[in-house]
Amino acid sequence: MAEREVPIEDWWPPLSIEGKHAILADLRAPLTDGVRAEIVELVGRAAPEKLDDREIEFIRTQIEFVD
């Protein structure tokens, strides 16, 4: 499988809380135009249309529950 042009490691950490919530609402859904625009703004390259399995797993590892 080819690597993504824009690795999730580059855009997930600085993505806004609103953007993260939009993605977390349905990890398998296409990314919204607003989220894609934010990714482009963050990294200066085209954003993916939807997440692949590796990206979904990356996000799951980044979620930490806080008491």
What total number of domains does the chain contain? 1
Instruction: Say what the pLDDT of residue 1 is.
Output: 38
Instruction: Say what the pLDDT of residue 39 is.
Output: 97
Note the pLDDT tens digit of each residue in 6-63.
Answer: 899 999 999 999 999 999 999 999 999 999 999 999 999 999 999 999 999 999 999 8
Position 20 in a domain: yes
Output 5-12 pairs: Cβ under 8 A, ≥24 positions apart.
5/45, 5/46, 6/39, 6/43, 6/45, 6/46, 6/47, 6/48, 8/51, 8/54, 8/55, 8/58, 8/59, 9/58, 10/42, 10/43, 11/39, 11/42, 11/43, 11/47, 12/58, 12/59, 12/62
Position 1 in a domain: no
Position 3 in a domain: no
pLDDT band at 5 (very low <50, low <70, confident <90, very high): confident
pTM value?
0.85
Position 67 in a domain: no
Instruction: Say what the pLDDT of residue 13 is.
Output: 95
The parent domain of residue 37 ranges over 8-62
